[in-house]
Structure 1
Amino acid sequence: MNGIKDRLNRPLQDLRISVTDKCNFRCQYCMPADIFGPDFKFLPKTEILSFEEIERLASAFSKLGVTKLRITGGEPLLRKDVASLIGRLKKIPGIKDIGLTTNGVLLPKLAKDLVDAGLHRVNVSLDAIDDDIFKKINGRGVGSDVVLKGIEAALDAGLGVKVNMVVQKGVNESEVIPMARHFKNMGVTLRYIEFMDVGNSNGWDFSKVVTKKEMFAMLSDHFELEPVDPNYFGEVAKRYKHKHTETEVGFITSVSESFCSSCTRARISADGKFYTCLFASKGYDLRELVRTYKEEEPLINEISSIWNQRRDRYSDERTEESAKAKEKIEMSYIGG
């Protein structure tokens, strides 16, 4: 199959699987410290999908057109033996690309094992080069050098690397140019992400958003950028490259330029809930199905039914009022 298609002609191609809801940061974007403090109760082990269950679900999704997997969290490198999961997923027929989103802290220890298991690339979250700004954002007093060492370890191990920077007005917009300069010199792709209203705990409103248009104007005062064509249908980043180089910058524009009509992405939380949108309120329980049925057909049928009925257009319809009124799943739970 080429993928399930609903009325908006959106195939299901890209699956993001959260393997833990825990993280070693408490950043203000997805895990504010006043909510995710030391007494916060994370999911018990019995509620989290086992590697065998994740493998079975990924196999079912592959038969419905999914070719790309991204392992997420929380912080996925906190999940014990996560490299062995990569190895299992790599063997699934039809899966062509496996990536992982991480804060980078554990990459010096784990990058080689991940590559040996079959991981292709990592997306590393880094919202500032400046130590004071970065320490304030991550809430743990961790300097940016720890993440930069992780990026170097990933590159040395042979992983493809992209750096994700969430830009928030009044917090880190001063880092847009220093980040671009640093990663241009490294030859590493940098993606700027508009501050989004994921979940209900990050204090989002429109006044805190730095749009792609604003960031592009800032960058154009310092760099010559030229557009890059999309690699595939449903690619969410608006891509550019530094002139006379192959080094890219990109923009994720969920707030200012929505891409609901071409979204091909689904998500599974660590406890097996299936979400058809990053801004969803409701997930569909696949954990119960995978623990009840040994056959693959019930899983395929349920996933197909859910995706065929999706009508998610949250970013198209977002207003200041609706963003505050709608209860949404937290970023730390769904993985981004």
Structure 2
Amino acid sequence: MTGLGLLDSFGRVATDLRVSLIDKCNLRCTYCMPAEGLDWLAKPELLTGAEFVRLIGIAVHELGVTDVRFTGGEPLLRRDLPEIVAGVAALTPRPRIALTTNGIGLAKVADALAAAGLDRVNVSLDTLRAERFARITRRDRLPDVLAGLRAAQQAGLGPVKVNSVLLRGINEDEAAPLLRFCLAAGYQLRFIEQMPLDPQHGWDRSAMVTAEEILGLLRQDFELTPEPGERGSAPAERWLVNGGPDTVGVIGSVTRPFCADCARTRLTADGQVRSCLFAHTETDLRAALRGGAGDAELAELWRKAMWAKPAGHGIDRPEFAQPDRPMSAIGG
């Protein structure tokens, strides 16, 4: 495997790096974590900004990564986020740099992040109703999220994308209103099936609003036709809305998995490489890095971790078990 990029035994090559910068979050979404929060990583366990930039640099220079997405927890809680973005933007070749955020606080830092080199942003938004937002997130912060969306667009962090999860009996009636809102504002909407990544392990497939159901809800108000062209490794199936050019995406991670074309590798906030969102094993780069390992050694550890990537997440198999880490610790 020495000298190759992030190739796995099924012939897939990972070029998309998801980096969880922190496991903490300032929301308590019901499908992500309990009301009291979780046991957060201690600060010494977290990678420093310089350590993140070094590892991402190895991924770009040695392993062929072309796209870097910062996630959390909530990545805006990292005060050094602009410095990390700037460090990655200075790499040669320069990767594309994106951020997934809940949008709280984004209005205050959108300009600084754009100046540092951030290219675009995804903002999570499951409802346009304040009372529902408070019910889902356990926080009354909808105006802050909407302000963050506007600020990101004004800062040129486009296309601004909105990620929405529909929850049965709670907000599935907002499929069409969310799409109208995004079309009017110039945002790109993507619906995501709820995945079994909650720390309570209370996910119930029968309660999940499926991709097919989402499309059915949208077709009550819009004409949807498949977007021409190859999907490639993109997670979202994209549909032209009323003939285009506007589109809506649906990520059917559970019922319409795209594992065979997956091009992702993951780095957690405490320096662990994960080959899959649902992996049960990790490779510790932090210990090697802090132990004095050189770039070549770290790159080889990363290659070996990705070579062992499973064929798929296996959610439909009887033996499927959720990973020990919740989504907030893995990164979206």
Does the alignment reach a TM-score above 0.5? yes
The residue that corresponds to 1:333 in the other structure is 329
The SS at the match of 1:226 is: strand
Give a deviation string over 1:226-273, Cα, whole Å, max 9, x none.
Answer: 222466631111011223543221011111111111111111111111
Deviation at 1:169, TM superposition (A): 1.2
Q: How does 1:26-65 map to 2 (within 5 A)?
A: 26-34=28-36, 36=37, 40-62=38-60, 63-65=62-64
**Number of residues paired by the alignment?**
328
The residue that corresponds to 1:241 in the other structure is 240
Q: Which amino acid aligns with 1:332?
A: S
Please say which of residues 225-234 and 289-298 is displaced more in the overlay: 225-234
The SS at the match of 1:167 is: coil
Are positions 1:111 and 2:110 aligned together? yes
Q: Which amino acid aligns with 2:25?
A: C
Sort the Cα spacing of 1:312 and 1:110 in 2 relative to 1 into closer, same or farther, 3 A.
same
Sort the Cα spacing of 1:304 and 1:258 in 2 relative to 1 into closer, same or farther, 3 A.
same
The residue that corresponds to 1:167 in the other structure is 166
Give a deviation string over 1:21-72, Cα, whole Å, max 9, x none.
Answer: 11111111212215x1xxx432121110011111111111112111000011
Are positions 1:256 and 2:258 aligned together? no
Deviation at 1:318, TM superposition (A): 2.4
Sort the Cα spacing of 1:292 and 1:230 in 2 relative to 1 into closer, same or farther, 3 A.
farther
The SS at the match of 1:175 is: helix
- Using the size of structure 1 for normalisation, the TM-score is 0.92
Q: Which amino acid aligns with 1:333?
A: A
Q: Which amino acid aligns with 2:151?
A: A
The residue that corresponds to 2:23 in the other structure is 21
Deviation at 1:199, TM superposition (A): 4.0
- Using the size of structure 2 for normalisation, the TM-score is 0.93
Deviation at 1:292, TM superposition (A): 1.4
Asked if the contact 2:274/2:305 (under 8 Å) is kept, the reply is no
**2:167 and 2:64 mapped to 1: Cα distance?**
35
Deviation at 1:82, TM superposition (A): 0.6
The SS at the match of 1:314 is: coil
The SS at the match of 1:171 is: coil
**2:235 and 2:173 mapped to 1: Cα distance?**
24
Q: Which amino acid aligns with 1:265?
A: R
The residue that corresponds to 2:206 in the other structure is 207
Give a deviation string over 1:264-322, Cα, whole Å, max 9, x none.
Answer: 1111111111111111222211101111125201011111111112224224x524x54
**1:59 and 1:14 mapped to 2: Cα distance?**
13
The SS at the match of 2:99 is: strand
Are positions 1:156 and 2:158 aligned together? no
Give a deviation string over 1:1-24, Cα, whole Å, max 9, x none.
Answer: 884332322111111111111111
**1:125 and 1:91 mapped to 2: Cα distance?**
28
- Identity over aligned pairs, percent: 40
**2:257 and 2:310 mapped to 1: Cα distance?**
15
**1:94 and 1:201 mapped to 2: Cα distance?**
41
Deviation at 1:200, TM superposition (A): 3.8
Please say which of residues 230-239 and 65-74 is displaced more in the overlay: 230-239
Sort the Cα spacing of 1:249 and 1:122 in 2 relative to 1 into closer, same or farther, 3 A.
same
**1:231 and 1:71 mapped to 2: Cα distance?**
25
**1:189 and 1:2 mapped to 2: Cα distance?**
35
The SS at the match of 1:87 is: helix
Asked if the contact 1:16/1:267 (under 8 Å) is kept, the reply is yes
**1:246 and 1:262 mapped to 2: Cα distance?**
26
The SS at the match of 1:129 is: coil
Asked if the contact 2:45/2:270 (under 8 Å) is kept, the reply is yes
The residue that corresponds to 2:197 in the other structure is 198
The SS at the match of 2:14 is: coil
Deviation at 1:85, TM superposition (A): 0.6
